[in-house]
Amino acid sequence: MQDGWPGYHAGMCVSHGAYYLEYAFFCWAAVADDLLSVVKWGLNCLQEVFVTRSEGDVHVHVLPSDKYKMSSVWIQMERPVSRTEVTASVLLPHVLLRGTERYQNPEDLMQAFDGLYGASISARAGKRGDFQTIELTLQVPADRYVGRGVRLFASAMNLLGDVLAHPHLPDGAFPRAAVESEIELHRQRLDNLVNDKISYAMERCVEVLCEGEAYGVSRLGYAADLPDITPQSLVDTYRLWLAGSPLHVYIVSPDDPERVTQEAFAALRPLVGACKTGAAATAVMTVSPAQQGPSAPRVVVERMDVSQAKLNMGLRTGVGFGSDDYPALLVYNGLLGAFEHSRLFVHVRERASLAYYASSRLDTLKGLIFIAAGIQESDYDKTRAIIEEQLAALRRGEVSEDDLRYTKEGLTHHYLQSDDQPFTSAMMHMFARFCGRERSVESLMDAVMRVTVADVVRVASNVSLDAVYLLQNGGA
């Protein structure tokens, strides 16, 4: 997840944005005599299992854990991505934090959370494969560390429940000032995306690769939709989400799991009847199939005021989180562009000196890989040729033992680091729900360690380059 969202997963978003993997694994690997035993020792604490209880279409997943002194809550509602709904849905979580029936402005609401020993809440809209999500996170000091008889968790969950179930709706609609303010803030977010040319080029590559598909719908929505959003229409969107979306509540806490579960349901009781099973509740994520046979990729060239051209390429792999070949896909992407030793970094940036940056990221849920490079416009043909040669080299199995080992160590190191995040296990559970296959962190890393060059070649042989996007300097 982008924007610093919790539970970042290496397979989902390797080397993207703020989550470029640290290269310190080289130092760590130097002291690891028996890598597999280190992995098992380091990850044994991730073997806890979520316990799920459901009432209606509200599902509470609790993971008892003594690793943290905070109780962490991650709420996710999900619906299939819709072009007509996406922009209003992106605004909705921000407007929900503008006030509740009891605390009717954001200052009072935030002060109420802060009064619970510094509890914090945040909200965002996201895109998980083919699904748009509304997500809220809450962190509050665990009751067991505060004092006997203190019930911070229940109080914080009641506030969170009010945000979702009892928003401030004077005259049956969201406050006009709040909606207009969030519309303007979102217009600025869209402008900022265009101004951030690296992110903009990546978004455009997704749109080019997945044109006509749900995944091709912009995660931030569209500026053209903003004038049509009103306080009443946003209430209609809110009710649409309640009526057609399951509610998944992930809780990681050192407090008594039975009590935590009961207090969560007590706070969310008004939503049990409101949330009804929709298409998103039972649908399984669709993995974009790899294109079979030789075919020229779609090439789109656009011009803007840029000092450095942005070359982005979209690949389909036909492999997702639920596939048997997913561990091999993680290794494939690592060899291609996730690390300093990867082929894109070494051949495009270091040896040919053609790129200011060159990397690849993997979307776990869709089985898509996106390559990004910052280049001189005059070097486009040469850079693209070298990148395509790296794809061909992986198909031929040109992988050294050192590169294979470094890639496995790099992936393992990231998963070891992810143990510091309370939502890592929740993210894995979410992937399992979407893809129909459960994986523990330890089992996934064990599988990664067993990947062979032949496994990489099998994955590489089905990878197809389907889209090329180039952002150049100049007018339209």
pLDDT in the model for residue 168: 98
Q: Is the pLDDT of residue 49 over 90?
A: no
Q: Do residues 332 and 265 share a domain?
A: no
Q: How many domains does the chain have?
A: 2
pLDDT band at 22 (very low <50, low <70, confident <90, very high): very low
CATH number at residue 352: 3.30.830.10
* pLDDT of res. 18: 30
Query: Which stretch of 21-25, 447-451, 462-466 has the lowest confidence by average pLDDT?
Result: 21-25
232 and 303 within one domain:
no
Q: How many residues does the chain have?
A: 476
Boundaries of domain holding 134: 58-276
Same domain, 124 and 257: yes
**Do 214 and 93 reside in the same domain of the chain?**
yes
Please determine, for residue 17, whether its predicted confidence score (pLDDT) is greater than 90: no
The last residue of one of the domains, among 228, 243, 276, is 276
Q: What is the model's pLDDT at position 40? A: 40
Establish if 14 belongs to a structural domain.
no
Report, as an integer, the average pLDDT of 288-308: 81
Which pLDDT score, from 0 to 100, does residue 272 have? 82
Q: Is residue 42 part of a domain?
A: no
Mean pLDDT of 225-252: 96
Residue 5: inside a domain, yes or no? Answer: no
Do 271 and 304 fall within a single domain?
no
Q: Binning pLDDT at 50, 70 and 90, where does residue 5 land?
A: very low
pLDDT higher than 60, residue 16: no
Q: What is the pLDDT of residues 84-133, one digit of tens each?
A: 999 999 999 999 999 999 999 999 999 999 999 999 999 999 999 999 99
Judge if 187 and 333 occupy the same domain: no
Higher pLDDT, 416 or 388: 388
**Together in a domain, 226 and 314:** no
User: For residues 375 and 377, what is the distance between their CA atoms, to the nearest angstrom?
Assistant: 6
Confidence of residue 222 (pLDDT cuts 50, 70, 90): very high
Q: Within a 10 A sphere around the Cβ of 329, how many other Cβ atoms?
A: 27
Task: Decide if 241 is inside a domain.
Answer: yes
Among 276, 309, 336, residue at a domain's last position: 276
Same domain, yes or no: 264 and 311: no
Q: Residue 234: pLDDT above 80? A: yes
User: Rounded to 5 degrees, what are φ and ψ at 308?
Assistant: -140, 130
Cα–Cα distance between 421 and 157 in angstroms, integer?
21
Q: What's the chain look like in SS3?
A: CCCCCCCCCHHHHCCCHHHCCCCCHHHHHHCCCCHHHHHHHHHHHHHCCCEEEEECCEEEEEEECCCCCEEEEEEEEEEECCCCCHHHHHHHHHHHCCCECCCCCHHHHHHHHHCCCCCEEEEEEEEECCEEEEEEEEEEECHHHCCCCCCHHHHHHHHHHHHHHCECCHHHCCCHHHHHHHHHHHHHHHHHHHHCHHHHHHHHHHHHHCCCCHHHCCCCCCHHHHHHCCHHHHHHHHHHHHHHCCEEEEEEECCCHHHHHHHHHHHHHHHHHHCCCCHHHHCCCCCCCCCCCCCCCEEEEEEECCCCEEEEEEEECCCCCCCCCHHHHHHHHHHHHHCCCCHHHHHHHHHCCCEEEEEEEEECCCCEEEEEEEECHHHHHHHHHHHHHHHHHHHCCCCCHHHHHHHHHHHHHHHHHHCCCCCHHHHHHHHHHHHCCCCCHHHHHHHHHCCCHHHHHHHHCCCEEEEEEEEEECCC
Answer yes or no: do 310 and 266 share one domain: no
**Per the domain annotation, does 199 fall within a domain?**
yes
Angle between the N-to-C axes of helices 257-274 and 231-244, in degrees from 0 to 180, rounded to the nearest 10:
120
> Does the residue 232 lie in any domain?
yes
Q: Residue 34: what pLDDT?
A: 40
Residues 168 and 247 in one domain: yes
| Confidence band for 285, pLDDT divided at 50, 70 and 90 | low
Tell me the per-residue pLDDT of 315-328, one tens digit each, with 9 for 90 and over: 999 999 999 999 99
Average confidence (pLDDT) over 224-235: 98
User: For residue 38, is pLDDT > 70?
Assistant: no
Which range is least confidently modeled, 187-191, 221-225, 272-276, 421-425? 272-276
Stated pTM of the model: 0.86
Question: Of 221, 241, 276, which one is at a domain's C-terminal end?
Answer: 276
pLDDT exceeds cutoff 90 at 464: yes
Contact 316, 464 (CB under 8 A): yes
Give yes or no for residue 277 having a pLDDT over 90. no
In a domain, 52, yes or no: no
Clarify whether residues 240 and 133 are in a common domain. yes
Which of 13, 107, 441, 190 lies closest to 5, judged by CA? 13
Q: Is residue 98 part of a domain?
A: yes
Same domain as 453, residue 333: yes
- Residue 4, pLDDT score: 32
Of the two residues 2 and 48, the one the predictor is more confident about is: 48
Mean pLDDT score of the chain, rounded to an integer? 87
- Predicted local confidence at residue 392, as pLDDT: 98
Among 270-279, 341-350, 403-412, 430-439, the minimum mean pLDDT is found in: 270-279
Percent of the chain with pLDDT over 70: 84
